[in-house]
A and B are shown apart, each in its own frame.
Chain A
Amino acid sequence: MKMKTGMKMPLGSKHAKILVLMAKDSREDELDCESVAENMDSYAEYVLNSGESSRLILLIENHLKLCKDCAEEFKLLLGALKASERLL
């Protein structure tokens, strides 16, 4: 494992607070990154077209709140779709 382990003082104040809030939002039935990636395109259309909410939508939103990597990817996807929309 190419990672340093055994850290004694892991997080600064702002990260500690984020962690507490994230812990509160955590749930057993969270979607994983793979499931969110699979549905990110249909979720993007839901957001762009103000579609109808569903349990899947809620789970995706929950995941995006907890996973900053997927959240970043989704934000970039929305930006790219908006930029290219005029070409269609």
Chain B
Amino acid sequence: MDEISWLIWAFAVSDAPVERFLTKKNWIRTISLNSSELILLFCYNSPDMTRSSELRPIPTRHPRSDREWIESLAPDHADFNSALTDLREYLWNGIRHTFKGSGKIGEEHLEDFCQEALMRVLSKRNSYSGKSRFTTWAMKVAVNLVLSEIRKKTWQDVSLDAFDDTEPFLDASRGNGLFSPQERKLFRKEMAELCNKLIQESLTDRQRTALVYHMKYGMPLEEIARRTGSNRNSIYKLLHDARMKLKQEFERSGVDRDDISALA
């Protein structure tokens, strides 16, 4: 069965909205057919499935155990198509609900990413360790893939020249009513000088650069890693070491957390 035939079958035997079954060949969206018409179209397009006896019955939804999920997602398993349909529907529903309307990406890309996520879950299913339910694990894999793709797409063409690193370190006009304007101004000025000094003197150039791009400009760790030829874990470690160093320096300098909080 080719992909389109499978999609038509999957739609016809389920009660899911047609958009659940869109793929890169998203021509289905442009037509409006009811289930019977789709079955007919499907039969015309799939000579090997034209006999009604070969049409699978509508699958009965029952909660699969984790073991059943793993077993039925093996391509040669009798329940493979049904399990695949259910898993895709499950992932698509979560992904669409979570990412649609985020403004970060168009729905057509989401569909592609969801399809990729399904493939990744299938290819990685043997690494499922059973720490959580299979569906929770599968959703984790899917969300990770989609978010990584969105981050990559968002940042891949961003030029670092667009960033302005001359923003004043502290803005003395901000603060709440806990301090008088004079106290607040003085405290902010002192904090500004101290933080500036510690960041400049205590951190390595790599630590400072990663920290600024991540904290100030919101560049994801993966993107910093991509641009520096590193990996996400190493960048996290770099920032962790920077934070630990600053923690020591702040403690040595008597910086009090409560004072900082009060200046929100």
Contact = CB atoms under 8 A, between A and B. Distances in A.
Contacts of A76: 98-99, 143, 147
Given A9-B165, A11-B216, A3 B191 contact: no
B183 interface: no
A55 interface: no
Interface residues of B, number: 73
A41 B228 contact: no
Majority DSSP secondary structure for residues of A touching B: helix
Interface string A1-15: 111111111111111
Interface string A48-88: 00000000000000000011010011001101110110011
If over half of B's interface residues share one DSSP class (helix, strand or loop), that class is named, otherwise mixed; here it is helix
B1 interface: no
B35 to A, nearest CB: 19
Interface residues of A, number: 51
A28 B165 contact: no
Given A13-B174, A26-B243, A3 B143 contact: no
Interface of B: 63, 86, 89-91, 93-95, 97-99, 131-133, 135-137, 139-140, 142-144, 147, 160, 163, 165-171, 174, 188, 191-192, 195-196, 199-200, 205-206, 208-213, 215-216, 220-222, 224, 227-229, 232-233, 236-237, 240, 243-244, 246-247, 250, 255, 257, 260-261, 263-264
14 contacts: A1-B227, A1-B229, A4-B160, A8-B165, A9-B166, A9-B168, A11-B212, A16-B192, A16-B195, A24-B250, A26-B244, A41-B136, A45-B133, A84-B91
Top-7 shortest CB links A-B: A80-B94, A83-B97, A41-B132, A84-B94, A26-B243, A23-B247, A41-B140
